[in-house]
A and B are shown apart, each in its own frame.
Chain A
Amino acid sequence: DAGVIQSPRHEVTEMGQEVTLRCKPISGHNSLFWYRQTMMRGLELLIYFNNNVPIDDSGMPEDRFSAKMPNASFSTLKIQPSEPRDSAVYFCASNPGQPMNTEAFFGQGTRLTVV
């Protein structure tokens, strides 16, 4: 398996624009996670899905952020409208879900810069 695949790797956009980040989890993994990493706050969980259903979105910072998982092999994280403070590296991760004693695997991340 190629691992968790994220696209794009880098995104530069102007404030106010819509940004869509994409993630393909490892085949067979039932849990998918979106994390954000900044220098100030480290790695923060935004949302996670289990069997395509959002389980915990308490980390989503504002209504400008939304995430979907229309099927087991694809997820998106959308920011609309984007703001400079959204600049960060966004990681997607997946794991089998069950049993719980399994590793989480991370993608390479999307570095977002909002100017």
Chain B
Amino acid sequence: KQEVTQIPAALSVPEGENLVLNCSFTDSAIYNLQWFRQDPGKGLTSLLLIQSSQREQTSGRLNASLDKSSGRSTLYIAASQPGDSATYLCAVRRTAGGGNKLTFGTGTQLKVEL
């Protein structure tokens, strides 16, 4: 059974700091990995999708890396802003034999302070 863990569970940083969120998964037979953002009381917004054959993906100040063999992904946020405050979730999609479903991590709650 796939298990996805995110560390740290919570993080508070001053504005402008670069930060790294970690995601690890136990079964490396994944198709892709997706990072989401969730604001309080809201749904999930997709940030980045990284395929199993890729090493990284970038979107603006966000960069996600993937090391499938070691079961790890990181989300790098450059020059953090208060508007980045949210819960960040990673989710993995298993290979085709496992069905088209996402297994989520428990999330990292980020607070960026002025």
Contacts and interface: CB of A to CB of B under 8 A. Distances in A.
Nearest to B103: A45
Contacts of A43: 89, 91, 104
Interface stretch (A14-22, A62-70, A104-112): A104-112
B96 interface: yes
Contact of A42 (B31, B41, B104): B104
Interface stretch (B13-21, B42-50, B58-66, B67-75): B42-50
Interface string A66-83: 000000000000000000
Q: Main secondary structure on chain B at its contact with chain A?
A: strand
Interface residues of A, number: 26
Contact of B101 (A48, A105, A109): A48
B28 interface: no
A31 B100 CA distance: 8
A106 B45 CA distance: 7
Nearest to A50: B100
| Of listed B43, B91, B105, residue having the most chain A CB within 10 A | B43
B99 interface: yes
B34 A104 contact: yes
A100 B96 contact: yes
A104 B43 contact: no
A55 interface: yes
| Of listed B41, B44, B89, B104, residue having the most chain A CB within 10 A | B44
23 contacts: A33-B101, A33-B102, A42-B104, A42-B107, A43-B89, A48-B99, A48-B100, A48-B101, A55-B100, A91-B44, A95-B100, A100-B93, A101-B51, A103-B46, A104-B34, A105-B46, A106-B43, A106-B44, A106-B45, A106-B46, A108-B42, A108-B43, A111-B41
Given A48-B100, A50-B100, 14 more contacts: A33-B102, A42-B105, A42-B107, A43-B104, A45-B103, A93-B102, A100-B32, A100-B100, A102-B49, A104-B91, A106-B44, A109-B42, A109-B43, A111-B41
